[in-house]
Structure 1
């Protein structure tokens, strides 16, 4: 009897799982890949599209560059997962039965119940989101003047928020556009998860780019014209982008799997409370002891290399491998500049900026592209990374 293994999602976790399963499944197993887009997006570089939409040609890879001819691809939106009937429920397509399923649907933006924020803010979770931010910033700049510049506010000063603010500043400089850029963070420091040296480097780059930084005062409300803070004066905006948090996909809300805020909880082997359901990437809370694995592209890449093997092991009734996240550091761009942190290059240096940080960020993206497509594709994308 042919087993049907289904992978949900085309992000790092989903694409990576497909690549691994294609190399490990027996020829008598059917691999089905389901995603709401027919391409894999290099999401950690999608902020580049905010500055220049032409970048998308270097960070978008059609599924046929990744999927083997024997892999069935279905473009559809997952609306539910029935683990009792072993069925993936789809919008505008027939439901798909599975014997084993890998959930890699990613996440959606969390708004934390802040009134008006979801209604008025743009987000950055997809290529279309990045294009919308670019178009909205472009239109706002056309209506602005030097004496009355467009106000672009980016909420959340983690990795995504910093990179979006940097790209808006690059757009402003490249087009000599009348734009003021604001970066807002509820906590006392930008890049709260980083170390002090990284925060210092990033703050310097942001300030050099003319980005106004607001920290230590959370947003309490947003309307069509301004955001309101807990203590400070309201800040008017023409464009509001929110990058402040993540939560699980609605498609998993009714799945009978252990979860927190629709992010499925798993053991360190990616197996969920249902032995035929595996989960990884941002869609999962993967047991790593005191804290789950971080919702980063790096963690998803690492996990994808193991999950394919574990699905096959479960099919063959063999013991599953345990995965341990290995944090190899982070590279963060601010326009054309970058900061790398947590990287063990030299015994006494793990945080640095400048040319080495930029090249490290490029290399990281290139290695992933080569992993899921080819080194030739990585070479063609190099200039945009």
Structure 2
């Protein structure tokens, strides 16, 4: 019997490690990803300002898993009816599969934005943003623009503002959001705290502002306003992966796409057991992986031992303990109704990051991350 996990992001790696523990030893388990490494995506923005952090947030997949076979290849298509995955180097079949291949940046048909903006999905993107910013700092009146004020955009804007300060550059960092507030999908007290942190960092925040195009020197806003931009970073949304033709298929609480294929993490639009849409985030991906691990185990047991009725599957319910976002050297955390900022929030974010690395077996990376954060905290 063969279980296949496609994608080694938060959902895929967590699911694989859980299945290694839960599945019988004679069930083959394969983890497929186009990279040999797992990237701690929620810390990627840090690399813009601190390139040395790249090693701390990168974990070798072969080190992170125990008995699973790691196959480094790009997923090009998935035939869920035939339970076949088509890869850049061949194909493989599965008895039970999980699609966790994440999402890509959405440009919404704005070809000028696609051509001239830099997204932030991979380490090379962070390096490009850093290089472009440092080059811009050498010009008079440098302008850096970030499109999209979700958590990713907030963190990028904060890093760029802090990088400018460290480099002694009088750069203007502008954060654009088409909705009426930053972090628009989050509670109002969290949004207010995030906006204050951005403004305290020197970021110019423009909400209710829609990007319609871009060229090599400016971002075009609704009403044909030309906003000068030496650097343009786009974090304006996500779309499904190319292997799913850009779609994010909808799944309900049991996270089952078909009878033996699950979809979770950013690759899917999840509606939980309460009928509520679930935000795409690292914490939801990890929690969804726990539900899918249980459901895969039940299906594997049923298929191996037989029975009259298929097993009842667990349903995922979204229940977030809180939210965390960094803004340069500051951070904002929400735990229940309480909102924390400053050192308490920064310490909490560091703890969460180190805790996640430890959970995937990267103990040394976790220790190095904490040491790096403490070193910079001491200089604040």
Work out whether the TM-score is over 0.5: yes
What residue number does 1:110 align with?
106
Distance 1:246 1:383 in 2: 33
Distance 1:193 1:221 in 2: 24
Distance 2:39 2:326 in 1: 18
Q: CA deviation at 1:132?
A: 1.7
Q: Which moved more, 1:102-111 or 1:229-238?
A: 229-238
1:116 aligned counterpart, secondary structure: helix
Distance 1:196 1:102 in 2: 35
Q: Does 1:67 align with 2:59?
A: no
What residue number does 1:83 align with?
80
Deviations 1:153-172 (A, max 9, x none): 00011111110000011111
Deviations 1:182-229 (A, max 9, x none): 111111211212233322322222222221111212111112221111
Q: 2:11 aligns with which of 10, 13, 16?
A: 13
What residue number does 1:192 align with?
184
Distance 1:332 1:208 in 2: 15
In structure 2, stretches of 5+ residues that fail to align are 303-310, 374-380
Contact 1:58 1:384 in 2 (8 A): no
What residue number does 2:261 align with?
277
Q: 2:162 aligns with which of 167, 170, 175?
A: 170
Contact 1:20 1:305 in 2 (8 A): yes
Distance 1:121 1:59 in 2: 24
Distance 1:109 1:130 in 2: 14
Distance 1:87 1:365 in 2: 35
Distance 2:191 2:203 in 1: 15
| Aligned ranges 1:254-333 → 2 under 5 Å | 262-272=247-257, 274-288=258-272, 289-317=274-302, 318-333=311-326
Contact 2:57 2:365 in 1 (8 A): no
Distance 2:368 2:211 in 1: 41
Contact 2:34 2:74 in 1 (8 A): yes
Cα-Cα RMSD = 1.6
Contact 1:217 1:232 in 2 (8 A): no
Q: CA deviation at 1:115?
A: 4.1
Distance 1:338 1:60 in 2: 22
Contact 1:8 1:104 in 2 (8 A): yes
Q: Which moved more, 1:108-117 or 1:196-205?
A: 196-205
| Aligned ranges 1:301-380 → 2 under 5 Å | 301-317=286-302, 318-341=311-334, 343-344=335-336, 349-380=337-368
Q: CA deviation at 1:379?
A: 2.3
Distance 1:374 1:214 in 2: 39
TM-score normalised over the length of structure 1: 0.90
What residue number does 1:258 align with?
none
What residue number does 1:219 align with?
211
Q: CA deviation at 1:266?
A: 1.8
Distance 2:224 2:349 in 1: 36
Deviations 1:98-140 (A, max 9, x none): 1111100000111122341111111011222212211221222
Q: CA deviation at 1:31?
A: 0.7
Q: Which moved more, 1:196-205 or 1:279-288?
A: 196-205
Distance 2:219 2:232 in 1: 9
Deviations 1:288-327 (A, max 9, x none): 1443221010101111122112111112223211221211
Q: Which moved more, 1:323-332 or 1:171-180?
A: 171-180
Deviations 1:32-85 (A, max 9, x none): 1110111111101100001111111111111122111x3211111111012233
Q: CA deviation at 1:21?
A: 0.7
Distance 1:367 1:104 in 2: 22
Q: 1:135 aligns with which of 114, 131, 135?
A: 131
Structure-2 change in CA distance of 1:384 and 1:251 (3 Å): farther
Q: CA deviation at 1:263?
A: 1.0
Counting matched residue pairs gives 364
Distance 2:35 2:91 in 1: 17
TM-score normalised over the length of structure 2: 0.92
